[in-house]
Amino acid sequence: MIIIGCVLFIIYAEIATSKIHHPAKSLFFALTFAITFILLIFYIVDRLIVKHVNPRILVFVESVFLILFGLYYFFPENTIDINVSTSKDYILVLYDSENHLLEDFTSKRLVGKTLKVNENIIHVDSTLHHKSNVVIKEPEEWNGFSESEGIIELQGKPIHYTLRAKPNHPRLTIDSLWDDLNK
């Protein structure tokens, strides 16, 4: 039924747009034809499978496929976001476990976590430094940033850090922020 509908739509579209000479017309027909061809292939495969496979098994396999597709679709959203709002020209994230443990983050959508911060020096859980899905989101008005990472020694302990600055800010280093860190 879907294939017949697609073919009828192609015929209707050809008749309706026969007097229009636009470059996008050929692209439209090429895409519609390709989609119809793919649907036809799926229809033929579906008819062959239905004839040879128990319907209960087919429903089970399709359900598993839909669950796996859903997990694949939502997996890119599995990030740990640190959303920063600050009036300063830089953001310093210290991975030192003083504040903002992973439990302090709120869940977002189906998977992932987020934390909203209104400071420019942020202390987070030290285990977050080793996670590849941590995303630091700078204020939107920055229009880009420069970034440096490293290890600094505070109170006798080595601490990983990420330093981001506005692109028009003079070359900022962790050493130039030493006074702010000791507050």
Question: What is the mean pLDDT for each group of 10 consecutive residues in the chain (183 residues)?
Answer: 74 73 74 81 84 86 86 72 83 77 68 79 82 82 81 83 78 66 59
pLDDT at 64: 92
DSSP strands (E only) in 8-140: 80-84, 90-95, 106-107, 113-117, 121-124, 134-137
Q: What are phi and psi of 57, to 5 degrees?
A: -65, -40
pLDDT at 183: 57
C-alpha dihedral (9, 12, 14, 16), degrees to nearest 10: -130
Query: pTM higher than 0.75 for the full model?
Result: no
First to last CA, the chain: 71
C-alpha dihedral (23, 28, 31, 36), degrees to nearest 10: -150
DSSP strands (E only) in the chain: 80-84, 90-95, 106-107, 113-117, 121-124, 134-137, 146-154, 157-165
Return d(Cα 44, Cα 40) in angstroms, integer. Answer: 6
